[in-house]
């Protein structure tokens, strides 16, 4: 009985790893921005700030516009315990896949707690700063394209900024 239980546990673990392995291999790759299939980021920002007062609205618009723009290229590499995401020519961001946060400094010097995890076939990357959070959710469709769903939230915003960008597989 004990041996049978152990064998069932081993088979279940291998099956779970196989499914996880499919998630890993499915998202890894190099992708190029597809503007014609992507949302209008400035429209998403306007929807999020429309209920702000006239003094705060241009400040919020400027800050959100400086940090929310489409990268022209994204490279995702997923290993057994680490995710590596590279945006354009920036240095890759290496994150453990267990959801543990690491400190990361953006090119402008702002420091974030960044984490990554796999959830339901998606790579969820979360940036946390003192004034808000950005969640990037990467998923792959049947054509091999990546959907990047972005949600930026802050206590300063009446509602989150939400938009989806599309990326096609790029030649290596």
| Lookup result for tokens 């999020």 | 48
- The pLDDT score that the predictor gives to residue 21 is 44
Give the Cα separation of 56 and 49 in Å (integer): 9
Ordered strands of the 82-87 beta sheet: 93-96, 82-87, 73-78, 29-33, 161-169, 146-153, 132-140, 122-129, 111-119, 102-105
pTM, two decimals, is: 0.84
Q: Which residues of the chain have pLDDT under 50?
A: 2-23
Give the Cα separation of 78 and 117 in Å (integer): 10
Domain assignments of the chain as residue spans, ordered by start:
2-169
CATH entry, 2-169, from 1.10.3720.10, 2.40.128.20, 2.60.40.10, 2.40.40.20: 2.40.128.20
| Lookup result for tokens 């453990």 | 96
DSSP one-letter code for 81: S
**For residue 132, which of 163, 110, 108 has the smallest C-alpha distance?**
110
- The pLDDT score that the predictor gives to residue 172 is 63
Give the Cα separation of 154 and 151 in Å (integer): 10
Contact by Cβ (8 Å): 42, 53: no
The end-to-end CA distance of the chain, in Å, is 51
């Amino acid at each position: 009985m004990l041996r049978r239980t152990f064998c069932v546990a081993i088979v279940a673990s291998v099956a779970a790893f196989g499914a996880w392995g499919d998630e890993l291999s499915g998202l890894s790759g190099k992708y190029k921005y597809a503007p014609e299939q992507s949302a209008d980021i400035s429209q998403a920002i306007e929807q999020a700030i429309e209920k702000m007062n006239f003094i705060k609205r241009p400040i919020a618009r400027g800050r959100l516009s400086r940090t929310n723009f489409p990268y022209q290229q994204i490279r995702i590499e997923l290993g057994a315990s680490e995710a590596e995401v590279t945006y354009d020519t920036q240095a890759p961001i290496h994150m453990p896949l267990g959801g543990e946060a690491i400190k990361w400094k953006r090119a402008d010097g702002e420091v974030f707690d960044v984490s990554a995890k796999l959830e339901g076939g998606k790579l969820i990357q979360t940036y946390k700063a003192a004034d808000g959070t950005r969640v990037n959710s990467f998923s792959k469709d049947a054509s091999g394209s990546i959907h990047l769903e972005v949600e930026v939230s802050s206590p300063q915003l009446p509602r989150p900024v939400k938009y989806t960008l599309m990326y096609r597989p790029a030649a290596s």
